[in-house]
Structure 1
């Protein structure tokens, strides 16, 4: 498998902790983890990407992602496989649960990328979200406020799927 670029934005540390959980499950693979606050200029170098964002406001990406969005929107994702992780609170913000994930998804698909790692929406109790297509999230949806006990198993199963589908 080719090297994986893991890019995340985090205010409270929860998303950074999920990046570490992903690293743990990729322990024998070649990867590099980058906080988007430090820039995304190396992103085009990777054919395999994992992008993580918590959701803020009404379905918006985290502020460091928002700061790099003009640059992100210019990246040609053709020939790349990208997996997305969205964090949110399905009860407190059930009307836009993990909406930040959809912001990334829309840019990636518009710019020619292949999004992998869709997951079932079964087991969640959100009101609505634009991050579901059919009956699947456009990536891995995590609720560290209400379902953190399910995170390790969700991440482990998801990473195993990614390993089979990355270049």
Structure 2
């Protein structure tokens, strides 16, 4: 049975680390549904990689074990198994149109708490954060109104409560 896994990986912030992590996935034929990476400590020595992938329980366990063996990796955490966590994405969504379509796009954006970050006489760019399902629902409603372009981040995730991913 397949499951989705959100895996947080704390690594050294150095050249080539991301390539090694990605190589682990591609070399074994594992799929990456979403990937984000950024420095997370004050000195800039550590980065956090958040990978969303899917597979059988055995495949997910293999991924985690192989990630844990990579030299620059400090910690691997499967947030989907370790308790409640928050996951968010950011999307910039361009909608083009005139008249009623513009009015409807603004009304729906307000209902979804999307912010207008750019506007012309023929288009809007909305900024939206939320889980993937919320963003997908908004995009589905925007398609008939003139959805022109979408730029999305990957998922970022963090455990709820006092537990923390630390070196």
Is the shorter-chain TM-score for this pair beyond 0.5, marking a shared fold?
A: no
Higher fraction of strand = 2
TM-score interval for Structure 1 and Structure 2 normalised by the shorter chain: under 0.3
TM-score, length-normalised on structure 1? 0.24
Higher fraction of helix = 1
TM-score, length-normalised on structure 2? 0.24
